[in-house]
Amino acid sequence: MADPYRDYSVDPTNLASGQLLSATKSGAWRYPLMHGTNAVAAAELIGDGTNGQPLKFAGLEQTDFSNETLEALRKAKKLLQIKDQDYELRRLDCPAILFVSVWLHGKSDDIIIPLPPARGKWEAFQPYSERQMIKLLKPAAQKRLKVPIGSPLI
């Protein structure tokens, strides 16, 4: 089992108004389950995790997101700003627009690394600032708000 990280999500309404990281809500803790150097699944636990209450098992996820997260971290280790300060690993998503990323949260800045599929709207595994990511995600969020729920986005 690898070190856990927290899952955060943002609503498309916030994105459509130009808010991203400040509008996130924390969700489950993810515990990557490893086989050698490969992530084969992730256990999800819910709860605060900081208030003394035990976390509760929420499910087991077997998708490529665990290995994609590891790939994003391998690429992030090569970034110059990583050497200047510590970053906390977080996962950031907006399910309504099919966006998932690694969010490296630092004291002075944040780095967002989108995971595949990118669908031609952003570059997977490339680092972005919050401002750059808002510029890329805002049109998709605005479009999503105009499409009835249950209708395909793509």
Q: Flag whether 30 is in a domain.
A: yes
Distance CA 99, CA 122 (A): 10
Total count of domains within the chain: 1
Q: Flag whether 151 is in a domain.
A: no
Determine the structural domain holding residue 33 and report its residue range: 5-146
Contacts with 29 (C-beta within 8 Å, 6 or more apart), sequence order:
4, 5, 6, 7, 44, 45, 46, 47, 49, 55
- Determine phi and psi for 83, rounding to 5 degrees: -75, -20
pLDDT tens digits for 60-80? Answer: 888 777 788 889 999 999 998
In the predicted model, is pLDDT for residue 49 greater than 70? no
Q: What's the pTM value of the predicted model, to 2 decimals?
A: 0.88
Q: Flag whether 152 is in a domain.
A: no
Q: Flag whether 15 is in a domain.
A: yes
Q: Flag whether 53 is in a domain.
A: yes
